[in-house]
Structure 1
Amino acid sequence: MKVEHKGHTTTIKDTESSFDAFLEKVTSQYNSYKSVNLIIDVTHDKSFNLSQLKQFSDLAKTHKKNKKSFVVVAKDIDFNKVPTSINTVPSLLEAHDIIDMEEIERDLGF
């Protein structure tokens, strides 16, 4: 797991050999990240699938309740089948764009 801090956003990249190990680390260390916008980057995991993405659902909901953004960056999944509760995009640039838009919405009181 590689963690990068940039301004008001933290990016966590999956470098684990298994998704379950990565999810366990993110979940167990969540309190360290609950006060910043969070990007979960799983693009290096070629076997990442929709069922694994859905396992982030509880974390995403909790993070949004704290008025922070939670975005997953994944490739090679069917974005039409992604649950609406999890912001999912194919690139880091789009993840940062989503966070910027959500920050503006929060500033405007939406």
Structure 2
Amino acid sequence: MQALYHSLSEKDRRRYAAIEAEKLGHGGIEYIAKLFGCHRDTIRQGRADIEALPEDPAEGRVRKKGAAGEMLAAASPGLSKRLKKKLKRKRRARPSKTEPSGPTWD
């Protein structure tokens, strides 16, 4: 389940987590949030996404990981060097995917 979850896009991760939490019933959101290392609000947003189907305002749009940093750098050339340094430090500080980690904020 975790391998599948981490292979999905951000939107699909939310929806998958919401489906799994719904299947578990009471306490499912807490359990799935802990299992996947995501926030409870992420799962709640996934539930809202599913309830809105078949209407999907974000259909066809998939955000690449780290895309926000690239957009900020392009918009503000003077900020680019500082942002690149910060992103490098952040990447080095991330735990590897093989090590279990605590909740992360998506």
Q: Is the TM-score greater than 0.5?
A: no
The structure with more radius of gyration:
2
From the two aligned structures, give the one with the greater strand fraction.
Answer: 1
Please, what TM-score do these two structures have when normalized by structure 2? 0.31
| Larger RCO of the pair (alpha carbons < 8 Å, separation 6+) | 2
Please, what TM-score do these two structures have when normalized by structure 1? 0.30
From the two aligned structures, give the one with the greater helix fraction.
Answer: 2
